[in-house]
């Protein structure tokens, strides 16, 4: 079973690899390469990496620590950084979309978020509000 940690800071995107990985700091003070479920090769590749990693660990190989990650804390830090970069009205819109419309995904583990979940959430936003709000939430 993988340990669960919360991302505290998105450090940088990594330009290598088809899974569009990123470098993230977590609440356990570790730094992790994050691979998103909905990117690149998809869920099967991530499952294969976890299986191969754990098998390697049991065989005594040096394997990086594998964890499941949530984004809740990253959103607040992202917003704090964006406040300096964006115009006030634009910032308020970004904040509203992340804080209100995407709140159901805040506590979902990063590895569990996929395109279907995002599409489902966008459909819910469209039904609750309207297509324009869903388009804004998407961006």
pLDDT-based confidence at 96, cuts 50/70/90?
Answer: confident
Q: 40 pLDDT exceeds 70?
A: no
Contact between residue 79 and residue 86 where contact means Cβ atoms under 8 Å apart: no
Comparing 3-17, 33-47, 75-89, 107-121, which segment has the lowest mean pLDDT? 33-47
Tell how strand 31-34 and strand 67-70 pair up: unpaired
Helix, strand, or coil (residue 70): strand
How many domains does the chain contain in total? 1
Q: How many CB atoms lie within 10 A of CB 73?
A: 17
CA–CA dist 75, 7 (Å, integer): 9
pTM over 0.85: no
Residue 97: exposed, middle, or buried by beta-carbon count in 10 A (0-12, 13-18, 19+)?
middle
Helix-helix angle 115-128:131-138, to 10 degrees: 140
For position 39, which CATH number holds?
Answer: 1.10.150
Q: Report the percentage of the chain scoring pLDDT > 90.
A: 6
Give the range of the structural domain holding residue 114, as residue numbers without chain letter.
3-138
Tell me what pLDDT residue 20 has.
Answer: 64
| Diameter of the chain measured on Cα atoms | 55
């Amino acid at each position: 079973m993988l340990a669960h940690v919360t991302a505290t800071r998105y450090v940088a995107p990594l330009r290598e690899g088809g899974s569009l990985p990123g470098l993230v700091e977590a609440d356990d003070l570790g730094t992790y390469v994050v691979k998103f479920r909905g990117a690149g090769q998809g869920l099967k590749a991530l499952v294969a990496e976890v299986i191969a990693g754990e098998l390697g660990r049991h065989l005594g190989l040096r394997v990086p620590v594998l964890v499941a990650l949530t984004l809740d804390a990253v959103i607040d830090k992202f917003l704090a950084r964006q406040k300096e970069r964006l115009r006030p009205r634009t910032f308020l819109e970004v904040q509203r979309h992340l804080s209100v419309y995407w709140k159901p995904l805040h506590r979902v583990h990063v590895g569990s978020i996929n395109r279907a979940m995002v599409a489902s959430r966008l459909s819910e936003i469209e039904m609750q509000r309207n297509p324009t709000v869903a388009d804004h939430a998407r961006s």
